[in-house]
Amino acid sequence: MSQTTTDHGEVPDLAVVLPGMRVSYEGEALNEADLAPTWTEQLQRWLDEAISSGVSEPNAMVLATADPEGRPSSRTVLCKGLDSRGVAFYTNYTSAKSHELASTRYASATFPWYLLHRQVHIRGPVEKVPAAETAKYWASRPRGSQLGAWASPQSGIMPDRRALENALKAVERRFADVEEIPPPPHWGGWRIKPDVVEFWQGREDRMHDRLRYVRDDDEWRIERVAP
């Protein structure tokens, strides 16, 4: 990968460059009156806008989990389901993230739509996606991704790349005559059932709009938060 250079071919001094890097936001306002009646519809609306604006991987979200001692980890996953029950993604149930979700039962996720000067943050308890729903999504995945899910002990230490490739070859042999590969028992979905969903719109002079849907039992209220 090539190193970033200035117009004169010099490598920039990050100690000088980083403090000066900032983007001015002149985005449209996000007012209470603009919000959809539910967080689900508002998130669908912004996701539609992210998709139609050409945001790269618009359904990518940064998922944060914590271990039982409260030490956090984050990584990107793809949102594959969005409805009033919550936001779903699929992964390996023996991965580091799944161990943390299984023990703390809580997660947060952030959609980072920098191109639109927007982000959406959700937080809440998690539950596993029912097996029948997982199977439906699994069937829509390309065969190569299905084989990869069978082959990869996600988050496990591998001695080298070859070990991973050998695992894939073994799985390819195993399923060579199988037309419809079943989902692995160690693979499936998690759903975050938000109790807070925050919509952030960048505005001029760092006077951003932050509007939150907050759950109170079965009722939702809207809060404005200082930027």
Active site residues: 206
What minimum distance in Å lies between the beta carbon of 57 and ligand FMN?
Answer: 5
DSSP string, 21-57: ------PPP--GGGS-SSHHHHHHHHHHHHHHTT-SS
| Residue 88 found at the interface with ligand FMN (CB under 6 A) | no
| Residue 91 found at the interface with ligand FMN (CB under 6 A) | yes
Single residue of 89, 111, 138, 150 touching ligand FMN by CB under 6 A? 89
Among the listed ranges 22-30, 84-92, 136-144, 156-164, the one in contact with ligand FMN (CB under 6 A) is 84-92
| Residue 113 found at the interface with ligand FMN (CB under 6 A) | no
What minimum distance in Å lies between the beta carbon of 83 and ligand FMN?
Answer: 18
| Residue 95 found at the interface with ligand FMN (CB under 6 A) | yes
DSSP string, 140-197: HS-HHHHHHHHH--TTS--S-HHHHHHHHHHHHHHTTT-SSPPPPTTEEEEEE--SEE
| Residue 187 found at the interface with ligand FMN (CB under 6 A) | no
Are 107 and 128 in contact by the 8 Å Cβ rule? The answer is: no
Query: Among residues 175, 176, 211, which one has the least CA distance to residue 196?
Result: 211
What minimum distance in Å lies between the beta carbon of 193 and ligand FMN?
Answer: 18
Among the listed ranges 9-17, 74-82, 176-184, 209-217, the one in contact with ligand FMN (CB under 6 A) is 74-82
Query: Among residues 195, 205, 211, 183, which one has the least CA distance to residue 92?
Result: 183
Give 63's contacts (C-beta < 8 A, 6+ positions apart): 74, 75, 76, 77, 89, 97, 107, 108, 109
End-to-end CA distance of the chain: 37
Among the listed ranges 10-18, 90-98, 129-137, 175-183, the one in contact with ligand FMN (CB under 6 A) is 90-98
What minimum distance in Å lies between the beta carbon of 109 and ligand FMN?
Answer: 11
Q: Which is nearer to ligand FMN, 192 or 211 (CB)?
A: 192
Q: Which residues bind ligand FMN (CB under 6 A)?
A: 57, 60, 73, 75-78, 89-91, 95-97, 154-155
